[in-house]
Structure 1
């Protein structure tokens, strides 16, 4: 089992960061434009049982990826797992921790590459590089958008 983790501190309250992740267009916002990923379907928001279906392109080969949410503790955590996809296993924990009026955002992924230890040694570095690339982009976009939106006070801007 391999683990990837990315943490950023966002200058916004936890509720605002959570609400950003509830947006219907969130996956379009957070998918790097250079990654060959297309969102096919998204149902259920962040709640337990919610699903997201993607199509990844591996060269000219389309790969179906279906993720299902297995945990949700608003506004602190949601977890999705791969039900169908290219990896042997995948669990993605999205964690939100309040820090003195700011929010620590942590994405932690535990995954297994199919093919055993030798395949893991051969391509594990590449998978880690792709995750670093993707989540650096996601955290930068989240920070940029959330910090630039006006703060609401008592339901007013």
Structure 2
């Protein structure tokens, strides 16, 4: 059962408490997920983020719908939090979100995901496709976070 690691990062010229607060609001998950994944939170909002909090949602990947439930297993504002898949498409998904100050007063956001693919050995055959999809999702996420936090009144914000 090989474990794979995805790392991603983004630096923003904003203070860490402000950046962390954006990620602490589960309602923002849909705003930073590519639209073709048709992401929807199933858990009632707002979700009080703390160890043990569960977030259930539905996504579509390649047109196939699936449910995913994550548990917040570590919560230390404004430094880091960890969410772990409790049910979903992966054999394992542990996502650590770390927030640190930069020398110029900004914030470095670092993501590290440890994941294992399902259905061995067939799952491993799909690894190149999974890696490409995850890289694309995290690239979208970086761009969306940057737009939403640096241009909060821009056209992406829905005021309805």
1:41-120 pair list within 5 angstroms: 41=43, 44-59=47-62, 61-100=64-103, 101-120=105-124
In structure 1, the residue matched to 2:6 is 4
CA RMSD, 1 decimal: 2.0
In the superposition, the TM-score normalised over structure 1's length comes to 0.85
Tell me how far apart the structure 1 counterparts of residues 152 and 60 of structure 2 sit (CA, whole Å): 33
> Is 1:46–1:78's contact at 8 Å kept on the other side of the alignment?
no
> Is 2:26–2:47's contact at 8 Å kept on the other side of the alignment?
no
Higher share of residues assigned strand = 1
Q: CA separation of 1:84/1:145 partners in 2, compared to 1, >3 Å: closer, same or farther? A: same
> Is 1:9–1:102's contact at 8 Å kept on the other side of the alignment?
yes
Shift of 1:147: 2.1
Any unmatched runs of 5+ in structure 2?
154-160
In structure 2, the residue matched to 1:18 is 20
Out of 34, 37, 50, the position equivalent to 1:35 is 37
In the superposition, the TM-score normalised over structure 2's length comes to 0.83
Q: CA separation of 1:32/1:58 partners in 2, compared to 1, >3 Å: closer, same or farther? A: closer
**Alignment length, in residue pairs?**
149
